[in-house]
Structure 1
């Protein structure tokens, strides 16, 4: 690794740490910045190689721990965002020579002139496996952090109730109502947290790829996301297993909800990609996309519809006969 790459990786790690530091220091206004913390790691990995991404991930965790004086803050960033970003960036950069039918030298025409020195055609790591890996890493990260930080409903409920009492609407709620709201919030944490983490990593990867591409540092050609974004059949098996596990008693129920949250968001991305592909060429495409995303932001319920579309797309591709 050259010194210039090492400096860039260290700078990316420091930038990621600064974006995340506000959340560790309990600054409510810094939540949005913290969600952008994986972007510098992705940029380092996509533009300067996998080693640069790993170095940036390590530096980010060390800097957060040094700034905050809290080791768990560095662990939180490294496990939830930095390391998954470095791994996903490595997967996006993987490629091998195309050895499919018609690609071998026995089927190739004799090279003439500059074509003799042309680079071989490459097969890049499929996006469906990258999405699967991100969802899996988000689930594993949330499970690991829950164990490390000691997620316990009985212990956390009094803290949530106290926070509700200090809120502006505390006078309008009885103790039973506050207890019910606290129970509801805690029951949703294992489902929402991995979904948000999967969303954060996927959006950060998209933004980082766009930044790296316009700077001519991204070797991978641009993927057509609406047609290329799918999930492998294994993702459907994991998702269905997670849904079945939610009927088990805790803590198995919590683990199953984490899996459902992470892979449910991944299937939602697939469903949204199908919508983008189906609306191509329509004169009212911009209006349809605007209304859809506005409904998602305001109501949240349409996410479930696109999750079902993503699941249906995976089932349909499983039933499709393999190419001859």
Structure 2
């Protein structure tokens, strides 16, 4: 049974998240920044007032959007891509069990083993992937039809201003259509992880976060099975069509996760070293300006995951 205070928090969090997300529904370019923080109220509700409050806030966010725009599909879209992954992340952060070895002296509360960060990140990746696949089904995503429509749009926009052949326009539209299923989950994983990190800091500052502060650079990671899933998804991306789109969504979410693991490894390995600030600044600046250095950190993240797997086998 949810407490009245938690129910009130869930109500406020759900409505706030919906209002932050509403700009995307009406396709307002100025509201994109607000939409990026739409998961945070739900994360705070889940971390500070329990998983039930988080899932209730997620449901209320969807109901609010559906009521505002009179469109159930819009409500389901925020639940699938924003609200539910945020609630899932908060739920896994709150999972704990008594530690196997407790201190000998009587303490007012037992020591707890909290759900590890690699499992939390994997849960975020899985929920985002499933949410994007559901949203694609809800929007009736058809790669072939979208490719034809995009080709026509590009052809009309190019007009007489560009000397692009029909074959070149077709290739460009195919590239864009293949990138969309990859890019959307990748961006959402990043958005949810950042909101979870900031939301945890806010909840901890208020004194309502029972989970102790994690050493993120030292404990970030992914289960080794994520490497296998990424390899399989990368191969299936070559199929094209619906199978390729589904595989691209899985690959995009996992790639973002491994990139975050690689960035965490950089933070850990540069601790206590001279020029650390310059190294971090240069790395993030290169990512923002050039984009392709992301792949370097993706590879580092995969190597870190494989290294932890090998170390676990030795022990």
TM range (shorter): over 0.9
User: Which 10-residue stretch deviates more, 260-269 or 144-153?
Assistant: 144-153
Tell me how far 1:147 sits from its aligned partner: 1.4
Match of 2:117 among 113, 121, 127: 127
Among 199, 212, 215, the residue aligned to 1:208:
199
* 1:138-158 CA-partner distances (Å, limit 9, x unpaired): 111111111121111232235
Task: List per-residue Cα deviations over 1:67-120 (Å, max 9, x = no partner).
Answer: 1222111111001110111111010001111014xx3xxxx54x3xxxx34211
Unaligned runs of 5+ in 2: none
Where in structure 1 are there 5+ consecutive unaligned residues?
Answer: none
- Cα distance in 2 for partners of 1:15, 1:159 equals 36
Q: 1:265 and 2:256 equivalent?
A: yes
Measure how far apart 1:2 and its partner are: 2.0
The residue aligned with 1:312 is 303
Matches for 1:76-225 after TM superposition, within 5 Å: 76-100=77-101, 103=102, 109=104, 111=105, 116-161=106-151, 164=154, 171-172=161-162, 174=164, 176=166, 177-225=168-216
Shift of 1:314: 1.0
Q: CA deviation at 1:194?
A: 1.0
Number of aligned residue pairs: 313
CA RMSD of aligned residues (A): 2.0
Q: TM-score, normalised by structure 2?
A: 0.93
Shift of 1:46: 0.4
Aligned to 2:285: 294
CA drift at 1:172? 3.6
Runs of 4+ that moved beyond 6 A: 165-170
- Hey, what does 2:7 align to over in structure 1? 6
* Whole-angstrom CA distance in 1 between matches of 2:34 and 2:165: 35
Q: Counterpart in 2 of 1:36?
A: 37
| TM-score, structure 1 normalization | 0.91
**Paired residues of 1:164 and 1:170 also in contact (CA < 8 A):** no
Moved more, 157-166 or 287-296: 157-166
1:237 and 2:238 aligned: no
For 2:157 and 2:191, locate their aligned partners in 1 and report how far apart those are by CA, in whole Å.
28
Asked if structure 1 preserves the Cα contact closer than 8 Å seen for 2:143 and 2:241, the reply is no
Which secondary structure state, in structure 1, belongs to the residue aligned with residue 113 of structure 2? strand
CA contact (8 A) 2:178 2:248 kept: no
Residues 322 and 158 of structure 1: CA distance in aligned 2, closer, same or farther (over 3 Å)? closer
* Cα pair 2:11 2:57 within 8 Å, conserved: yes
Does the CA-based 8 Å contact 2:143-2:245 persist in structure 1? no
